[in-house]
Structure 1
Amino acid sequence: MSQSKHSNNKPLKDQKNKLNTYAHFSGIAIQMFAIIGIGSYIGVRLDHNYPNEYNLYTIILSLTSVIISIVFVIRRIIAGSKEK
């Protein structure tokens, strides 16, 4: 009987690990989306308040926020791989 308990726990543990991994990477994606969204929004608001010909604030802050979010993701992945 003890063997059936151990064999039943392993699939459940694997399923929990997969769910935790999915939740971890989903959280990273949401944070990346938030960083890019906030940076772009600030750029749009600055272009609205200080108009210019090429919407430079939006372009600069959007690109900067994309770079920041990529660096953030890379750091989180590296930190996660060091934990395991």
Structure 2
Amino acid sequence: MQLVLCAVAKMNLATILNRHKTMTRPPKKNNSLNNYAKYSSIAFQMIAIVAIGSFVGVKIDDHFGNENNLWTIILSLCSTILAVIFVIRRIIADSKGNN
């Protein structure tokens, strides 16, 4: 008899604690404007990274007098790869934060 009462008491305590946890969580806001602002800022940051890398490459090529624009090509490619990695990391971090 005591074993049954103990099991019922534990079950009731567990349900009460679960209800308390769900009641104390703040409601999730599904605001599409916030998502739009977040992802458009990521796009502007990606554009800025690529533009800065390309600009530095052009300036280095002008300084050294390279006719093949080797530094522009290298730094443009590296900054594009860096920007893509940055975007992927931000999206992964945002998806983990939403769960």
TM range (shorter): 0.7 to 0.9
Shift of 1:57: 0.4
Question: Is 1:68–2:77 an aligned residue pair?
Answer: no
Query: How far, CA to CA, are the matches of 1:83 and 1:30 in structure 2?
Result: 22
Structure with greater Cα Rg: 2
TM-score by length of 2: 0.68
Residue 37 (1) aligns with residue 38 (2): no
Q: Distance in 2 between the 1:51 and 1:60 partners?
A: 16
Q: Cα deviations across residues 16-57 of structure 1 (Å, max 9, x unaligned)?
A: x10000000000000000000000000000000011231100
Count residues in correspondence.
Answer: 70
Report which of the two has the higher share of helix: 1
| Match in the other structure for 2:93 | 79
Counterpart in 2 of 1:20? Answer: 34
Which structure 1 residue ranges, 5 or more long, are not aligned? 1-12
Distance 1:52 1:42 in 2: 14
Distance of 1:73 and 1:28 partners within structure 2:
7
Taking structure 1 as the reference length, what is the TM-score of the superposition? 0.80
Counterpart CA distance in 1 for 2:67 and 2:59 is 15
What amino acid is aligned across from residue 64 of structure 1 in structure 2? C
**Residue ranges of structure 2 left out of the alignment (5+ in a row):** 1-28
